């Protein structure tokens, strides 16, 4: 397995593991039981007056407390982690109320009843155990905890409080005890934060195609369709084209002259082998230089119509 694929899978697993704490295990209390509802994932919460922009992975709200949650899968606490949570901690209540008011989410809550904004960061429990034995990492953890509450999680273990605490006594009590987490986690989130080509190809195959391909169906997807599906991630068009061409090259789809990539039931066998292929090689290594750099006339036309597809 390539190092890149292992890293991308660990990141995606961390998102889905946390997401499982929302409903929890049958017979065990979870965040949903305390009244929390998902406002959004991978969103932007901005404070124009203070010139702050934050991008939490998840925002939860129970009618009074808003949780701004950042999920980490790495093996260090860096300055970026600390700066992210410092910005979340500096957000004004008014900016969070404005965000909640503009968001569309399930739950009949009045954003004006917001009484607490809680920045939260989540690491894997095995990493935090090691972190506490390394003086440099422990110092970073102590600095980080000045701006947020720190939680840990692990498959088959619990989501629990490690540093800090919550104003809500019910939430604080639940997370000190720990929310039980499954060993096998349902995959509801497919992309990494930076939408690497490998995980993007996997996501297109499973999220866009296999999850929607019926017995007699075929699905036609353009690069702009992928960008729209993941519009909150600002994915460069070049990455989308490479991911789709990779799927075509392994026999997962065919490409029309108009730039559409067509997936049919006869492609299922190859689509189900996408992960195996990606474990062995990087997308850019699999594509030859000419194919990776060329764009069909159909793709070029779609690119000019796509606002979110330009390289940053």
- For the stretch 67-116, pLDDT in tens is 999 999 999 999 999 999 999 999 999 999 999 999 977 777 999 999 99
Q: Is the pLDDT of residue 311 over 50?
A: no
Note whether 135 and 203 are same-domain residues. no
Q: Is the pLDDT of residue 297 over 50?
A: no
215 pLDDT tier (thresholds 50, 70, 90): low
Q: Is the pLDDT of residue 309 over 50?
A: no
Note whether 251 and 160 are same-domain residues. no
Which residues make Cβ contacts (< 8 Å) with residue 2, sequence separation at least 6? Answer: 278, 279, 280, 281, 282
Note whether 150 and 208 are same-domain residues. no
17 pLDDT tier (thresholds 50, 70, 90): very high
Give yes or no for a contact between 33 and 22, defined as CB atoms under 8 angstroms apart.
no
Note whether 277 and 146 are same-domain residues. no
pLDDT at 26: 84
pLDDT at 2: 85
Joined together, the tokens standing for residue 300 give 């070029």
Which residues make Cβ contacts (< 8 Å) with residue 252, sequence separation at least 6? Answer: 205, 209, 263, 267, 270, 271, 274
Domain of residue 278: give its range.
197-300
Domain CATH code at residue 235: 1.10.10
Residue 306 inside a domain? The answer is no
pLDDT at 307: 47
Joined together, the tokens standing for residue 277 give 């292929």
| Region label for 33, one of left (φ > 0), alpha (ψ between -120 and 50) or beta (otherwise) | alpha
Q: Is the pLDDT of residue 298 over 80?
A: no
Which residues make Cβ contacts (< 8 Å) with residue 129, sequence separation at least 6? Answer: none
Give yes or no for a contact between 122 and 69, defined as CB atoms under 8 angstroms apart.
yes
3 pLDDT tier (thresholds 50, 70, 90): confident
Which residues make Cβ contacts (< 8 Å) with residue 276, sequence separation at least 6? Answer: none
Percent of the chain with pLDDT over 90: 79
User: Which tens digits make up the pLDDT trace of 234-258?
Assistant: 899 999 999 999 999 999 999 998 8
Cα angle, residue 144 at apex, residues 139 and 150 outer, rounded to 5°: 110
Residue 185 inside a domain? The answer is no
């Amino acid at each position: 397995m390539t190092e890149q694929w292992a890293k991308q899978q660990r990141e995606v697993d961390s998102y889905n593991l946390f997401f499982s704490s929302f409903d929890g295990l049958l017979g065990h209390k979870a965040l949903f039981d305390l009244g929390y509802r998902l406002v959004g994932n991978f969103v932007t919460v901005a404070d124009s007056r203070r010139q702050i922009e934050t991008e939490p992975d998840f925002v939860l709200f129970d009618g009074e407390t808003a949780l701004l949650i950042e999920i980490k899968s790495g093996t260090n606490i860096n300055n970026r982690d600390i700066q992210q949570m410092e910005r979340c901690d500096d957000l004004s209540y008014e900016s969070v109320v404005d965000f909640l008011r503009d968001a569309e989410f399930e739950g009949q809550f009045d954003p004006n009843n917001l009484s607490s904004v809680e920045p939260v960061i989540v690491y894997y429990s095995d990493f935090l155990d090691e972190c506490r034995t390394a003086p440099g990492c422990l110092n970073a953890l102590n600095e980080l905890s000045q701006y947020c509450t720190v939680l840990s999680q692990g498959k088959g273990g619990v989501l629990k409080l490690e540093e800090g605490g919550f104003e809500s006594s019910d939430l604080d009590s639940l997370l000190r005890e720990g929310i039980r987490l499954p060993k096998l986690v349902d995959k509801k989130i497919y992309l990494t934060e930076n939408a690497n080509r490998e995980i993007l190809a996997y996501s297109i195959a499973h999220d866009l195609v296999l999850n929607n391909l019926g017995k007699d169906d075929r699905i036609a997807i353009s690069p702009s369709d992928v960008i729209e599906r993941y519009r909150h991630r600002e994915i460069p068009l070049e990455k989308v084209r490479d991911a789709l061409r990779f799927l075509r090259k392994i026999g997962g789809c065919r490409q029309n002259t108009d730039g559409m990539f067509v997936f049919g039931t006869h492609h299922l066998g190859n689509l189900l082998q996408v992960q195996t292929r990606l474990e062995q090689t990087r997308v850019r290594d699999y594509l030859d230089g000419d194919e990776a750099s060329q764009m069909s006339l159909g793709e070029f036309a779609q690119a000019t119509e796509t606002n979110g597809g330009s390289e940053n």
